[in-house]
Amino acid sequence: MALINLSPRPDVFRSNLHEILATGIICMAQFVTVAVNNQALALMNTVSESFGSNSNSDKAWFSAAFALSVSTLILISGKIGDLYGHKACFIAGYAWISAWSIVAGASVYVNSTIFFIICRALLGMGFAFLLPCAIGLLALCYKNGSRKELVWGILGAAAPAGACFGGIISGALAGSWSWCFYILSISSAFFAVAAYFLVPNVRAEKKPDTELARVSPPPPSQAMDWYGGVTGVAGLVLIMVAWNQAPIMLWSEPYVPVLFAVGLLLMGAFFFLELRVVANPLVPLEVINRKIGVTLLSVGLGWGSFGVWGFYYWALCLNLREYTPLLTGVSYIPVCLFGILAAFTVSYSISRINPSILIFISNMSFFASSLLLALTPVNQTYWILLFILMIPLSFAMDMSFPSSSLILSNYLPRHHQGTAGSLVSTVTNYAMGLALGVAGTAEVYTATGDNAYDRMLSGYRGAMWTGVGIAGLGVVTSGGATPETDENELPGAAHYLRIIGRDSLCDSIVTRADMLTTLIPTMLDLSISKLGEFSDESIIIIKYSGALHKREVTFLIGKNGERISAIRAGCGALIKILPLDDAPQIEQGFLHPLLSSSVKPQCIRVSGTAHQISVAVSLIEKCIFDYRNGVVRY
């Protein structure tokens, strides 16, 4: 008997082979991203020596520059993918990586550390589009169910597998390190071509496997939040630069705290614009709430500790234990093996265990691996603490990323799936770069001793214990990472929408329940039924069951009816809020089993063309979200 009863294969795939190839190409985005991140760690000594530098700060920037561009540009890349198509951005990401990998490899002839760091940053721009669009593609291809959970588990397994592969290949080619980038260029070009032919071009506004038509998103020129994008990216960049320059120049240098302060001001402006000004915020208002915020914070702290762990694990092995880059890369093999086991474990359990519990377990695993690294004696054999810590590390990576991605993917509507992927990727990558800057500062201030070796060892220990503290904070905060809702809070599985037709057509509608009266579980991502042979002037009644309270209806109407008047003016449809008794009379058994005893349902009658009704529903949806998320109270 199979351990997992898979849900049906999505219609976007022509066959099982097509599904395997397309999903494999998409999941390789996670594999390559982690491999390239590990590439900098494996090559940090070799590259630094080839440029005539042995500065720890330069080595830290090899990783931080990549994390900087990936994490900051991911903030807008998911939204761009939502608007212009995830497949197009996915292919463009691979093409960009292929081009800049050649330049990064050729930097060996320039003999400039700064130029190489810039190349790493520009290389990261391609990955900023690659990973969130990969998550968006998977989210749009797969409905919620066991098949989606299995794919999410495979996506998680790609992280430890990529870390192992990247370390081994980079270690093996350390003597000719430019070829690491040339190989990356060739493989990225191959994946770009393969994605063009194999990856389905799914879009959020289409849902081909049902008869429900989605409300089309606004044109990209109107929907992209460039104000939020500029302020958000600039703020994140300045904060990251300040934290990673602090170990080099220290906070006593005036420009470091100034950059940090300006970055904080820009982030304040970003959140003000998102919450109060822009009509199409970069970050969906659905996720600007305490519960999702705590989830992302706990995930970020866990991956931040992993960023510290990764850099100082390689530093310990290369600089204190004097392993070769290849031997250090081979030491990652347990991560790959246990990662595969963890992937199947997570894919099996993710539908049986609350994802928030898996995030808590993953943060405990990050904490355990960080603690064991901090306690590892320099001269102890690999097979004791270093080998043991690989086990929780594998489960940490495989549990955290897919669980948090699945939470946001299930929580957000289809047209925000790229944004869901970008939020998780932004948090994980930015946290790794930021935490590395914090650990680097700790290394500078804790480095003591009579000789270079003692100062190096004490500094490394200080940084490692900083990583332990970050992981510990992740464990504490993950207790609040439970974005579950009840029917009085944010929308979830308990809130439903019923769409029925004009009174005179009620009999036809009851007999054609498959088309117009399907119960739609929704997160207020409202759908409008295709009218079939009915005319555009058909009156549509949107029926909320257990979703609108009296105070919510009062908010929807607004002071002196101003809010509902503005909605009517914006959509051109006729909108009337009716008491339940005035709703069209249809069969008792058709509606009443859906009614909540604790919430008096309201009936909203909207009449007009299909387009007018679509706009009306979108405006009503935004009002209710604003109210429930506390964005507007009056």
The pLDDT score that the predictor gives to residue 515 is 26
pLDDT exceeds cutoff 50 at 109: yes
Q: For the segment 601-624, what is each residue's pLDDT rounded down to a tens digit?
A: 566 677 766 666 767 777 777 777
Q: What is the 3-state secondary structure (H, E, C) of 241-306?
A: HHHHHHHHHCCCCCHHHHHHHHHHHHHHHHHHHHHHHCCCCCCCHHHCCHHHHHHHHHHHHHHHHH
Look up the CATH number of domain 16-204+213-224+280-480: 1.20.1250.20
The pLDDT score that the predictor gives to residue 554 is 77
Q: What pTM was computed for the model? A: 0.68
Confidence bin at 409 (pLDDT 50/70/90): low
Domain range summary for the chain, segments of one domain joined by +? 16-204+213-224+280-480, 225-279, 496-628
- Arithmetic mean of pLDDT, 58-64: 79
pLDDT exceeds cutoff 60 at 465: yes
Residue 488 carries which DSSP code? T
pLDDT exceeds cutoff 80 at 302: yes
pLDDT exceeds cutoff 70 at 269: yes
Pick from 32, 340, 38: nearest CA to 187: 32
- Arithmetic mean of pLDDT, 324-335: 90
Q: Greater confidence, 626 or 104?
A: 104
The pLDDT score that the predictor gives to residue 596 is 37
CB count within 10 Å of CB 601 equals: 18
**DSSP SS3 for 528:** strand
Q: Which two tokens stand for residue 129?
A: 């589009």
Q: Greater confidence, 622 or 228?
A: 228
The pLDDT score that the predictor gives to residue 252 is 75
Confidence bin at 18 (pLDDT 50/70/90): very high
- Which range (78-82, 131-135, 221-225, 358-362) has the least confidence? 221-225
**DSSP SS3 for 373:** helix
Fold held by 496-628: Ribosomal Protein S8; Chain: A, domain 1 (3.30.1370)
What residues contact 101, with CB distance under 8 A and at least 6 apart? 123, 181, 182, 184, 185, 188
Query: Are 16-204+213-224+280-480 and 496-628 the same fold in CATH?
Result: no
Pick from 208, 146, 192, 229: nearest CA to 414: 208
- Which range (9-23, 89-103, 167-181, 424-438) has the least confidence? 424-438
The pLDDT score that the predictor gives to residue 4 is 55
Residue 240 — left, alpha, or beta (φ > 0 → left; ψ -120 to 50 → alpha)? alpha
pLDDT exceeds cutoff 80 at 43: yes
Q: Which two tokens stand for residue 303?
A: 């991956």
